[in-house]
Amino acid sequence: MIEFVDFFTHLGHVISSDLEDSRDVANRWCSFIGQTNSVLCDFGKLDSSVRYRLFRSYYSSNYGCELWLLDNSCVQDFCVAWRKGLRRIWKLPYNSRGDILCGLSDDIPIFDEICRRFMRFAAACLQHGSNLMSFLVQHGILFAPGASVFGRNINTCTTRYEFKVSNFLANSVNVDAVVRCYCYNLVSEDSKRIFEFLRDLVSCRDWYGRHGECIMSRDEICDIIHYLSVE
């Protein structure tokens, strides 16, 4: 007997009968929170930069996010949860700015990472050896931009990163470069200097008292980190 259900889990993904991403994103959201807690529990005493590299390498695959609809509000909720998790990884105030988190991590924002992964996936489908696969993606982008996930996501990406759909279809868009350029241009030179200073302060805070005395107390270092992270 075949059972009819509203949703079921397959290979770690929640597939809904209405083809909505919300349950899958929420499932990944809960998984992410659990992974963050695991990192803090297992590696809480390590330096923040080391803890972040472990977190990034082993707990941040986000497998399957290439298929999410980018304008789904649940994706933004996931990004909010991601930023909260990063604040805990770096031991920063709960209201630290998002650009501070990316600057300390030397990485792009999670939403741009999801966009980048989608575009790379779409480009791979367009160049796929199967003519059917390539046709379906092209049709979704060109003729069903309001109904197709590919079409809606490409519209989101072209608006955000300012490239032409025709160039993307012609495989003349360097996905990694356009995303990195967009994120790089958002950061001022003053902010970059603040990021460097904050990395040094976070390192001093994490290693405080292990290599002799410091001219400032740990509380003073934490106060400066809080001021630079929030203001």
- 155 has a pLDDT exceeding 80: yes
- 84 has a pLDDT exceeding 90: yes
Q: Which pLDDT band, with edges at 50, 70 and 90, does 121 fall under?
A: very high
Closest-CA residue to 100 (of 9, 174, 194):
194
Residue 159 resides in a domain: yes
- 211 has a pLDDT exceeding 70: no
Task: Kindly state the helix (H) or strand (E) to which residue 109 belongs, with its residue range.
Answer: none
pLDDT score, position 212: 62
- 1 has a pLDDT exceeding 80: no
Domain around 123:
115-185
Backbone dihedral region for residue 63 (phi beyond 0: left; psi -120 to 50: alpha; all else: beta): beta
Inter-residue contact 39 to 54 (CB < 8 Å): yes
Burial class (CB in 10 A: 0-12, 13-18, 19+), 164: exposed
d(CA 141, CA 121): 14
pLDDT tens per residue across span 25-57: 888 888 888 888 988 998 888 899 999 998 888
Total tally of structural domains belonging to the chain? 1
Q: Best-predicted range by mean pLDDT among 36-40, 100-104, 173-177, 189-193?
A: 173-177
Average pLDDT value for residue range 159-177: 94
Average pLDDT value for residue range 108-136: 93
**Amino acid (1-letter code) at residue 127:** Q
Q: Copy the structure tokens of residue 108.
A: 């792009």
To which residue do tokens 């707990």 refer? 59
Residue 179 resides in a domain: yes
